[in-house]
Amino acid sequence: MKISYKEFLDLQTIPEVSLYLILGGPYHLQNEVQHRIERVLNDDDTNIKNFIVDSDFSIDSFKNELELMPLFEPKRLIILNIVSNSMPKNLSDMIMNFDIPKDISIIIKLDTQTASFKKTKTFEYFLKSYFIIEVLELKGIMLKNWVKQKFIKNKIKYSDEFFERLLEKNEGNTSAISQELYKMSLLNISDINTYFDYLQKEYKFSEYDLINSLLETDLQKSIKILKYLKSVKAPEVYILFLLNMEIKKIYSLAGGLSPSPYIPNYKKNIYGRLANNANSQILESLMELCYFIDKSIKTGANNINIWHQLEILISSFILNKSPKYFLNINN
């Protein structure tokens, strides 16, 4: 069974199946689908296990998790975050030839695929046997309703004028709007008018200046801005969020995934150049590093210098080198 993001939102009840494939993007809408499914499947006894499916992914570890027979965990939820541009063949082969135990539910998150993917045996099998939610960028009335729901959920006050200003400022792009809402939550701002006042304050550099210098591949300027943002105590998690979004855009463009991420007309040449020069393996390693930094920020684990890791992330992107290159230099 396959339904759209809108159809998924309209469901009164979500069917409980052994596997859900969340296909497409943007990533933050994928997460919304994932979290709603989790609320249905998750209870106090559910054990949740996350796997990052990348070049180091171990199919044996995943198989062992499926075959595990715990005594005191009646339900298990396994989440597979696929960061490569396609589903690994050994993973799809295993799922198609393995009876998922009744106590296990699986959520697979996969970026937008080419049209040919929907003609593969893997897709046909998932379509016949499991539940597929296809996520696409929102437009028109769906976009406006989505933003208004976000305001209501986050108890953000707004006027019609500033609502339209937010849409215009971000050119109707949900990823950009999501970034704005996320920053508002970090700053503990509950009124959009106040937020626009905040944006007009005279800061030497902003997080968006950092992104612009990143896209211009100006390493010296990017590091200078990053150090300034550290000095004014800008939220690390928001900077990481923005960097991760840009890396995902380049990765999607470089891989020719359809539909392409939203790019303003005046920036298409910049993104086109970056995508043409991109190395998919390096971009995958950068997405892995983003996940590592995010986990470290939110859990306090790994005992790392977050700002130093952000500097490595930026340097790796601009110089088109693996993060391991900079770690080796520092050791």
Question: For the residues 14-27, what does the mean pLDDT come to?
Answer: 88
Question: Tens digit of pLDDT for each residue in 2-20?
Answer: 999 889 988 988 888 999 9
In terms of average pLDDT, the best of 30-44, 72-86, 183-197 is 30-44
* C-beta of residue 107 within 8 angstroms of C-beta of residue 22: yes
Structure tokens that stand for 330 in this block = 């520092």
pLDDT for 45 beyond 90 = no
Please give the average per-residue pLDDT across 65-77, as a whole number: 75
For residue 213, name the pLDDT band (cuts at 50, 70, 90): very high
Question: Using an 8 Å Cβ cutoff, are 14 and 36 in contact?
Answer: yes
How many whole angstroms separate alpha carbon 182 and alpha carbon 239?
11
pLDDT at residue 330 in the model: 52
Q: Which of 225, 240, 134 is nearest to 186 (CA)?
A: 240
Phi and psi (nearest 5°) for 72?
-120, 20
Q: Which of 216-225, 260-269, 277-286 has the lowest mean pLDDT?
A: 260-269
Residue type present at position 66 = L
Place 73 in a pLDDT band, splitting at 50, 70 and 90. low
Token code pair at residue 201: 């304050």
Judge whether residue 112 has pLDDT over 60.
Answer: yes
pLDDT per residue over 271-289, tens digit each?
999 999 999 899 999 999 9
Q: What is the pLDDT of residue 8?
A: 92
- The CATH architecture assigned to 2-135 reads 3-Layer(aba) Sandwich (3.40)
Residue 51 · residue 23 · CB < 8 Å: no
The pLDDT of residue 202? 54
What is the pLDDT at residue 283? 93
Calculate mean pLDDT across residues 128-140.
89
- Lookup: tokens for 301: 């684990």
pLDDT in tens, 136-164: 888 888 888 888 888 888 888 888 877 88
pLDDT beyond 50 at 331: no
Res. 198 pLDDT band, cuts 50 70 90: confident
For the chain, the average pLDDT equals 85
The more confidently predicted of residues 73 and 194 is 194
Residue 203's pLDDT is what?
66
> What is 203-331's CATH number, 1.20.272.10, 3.30.420.40, 3.40.50.300, 2.40.40.20?
1.20.272.10
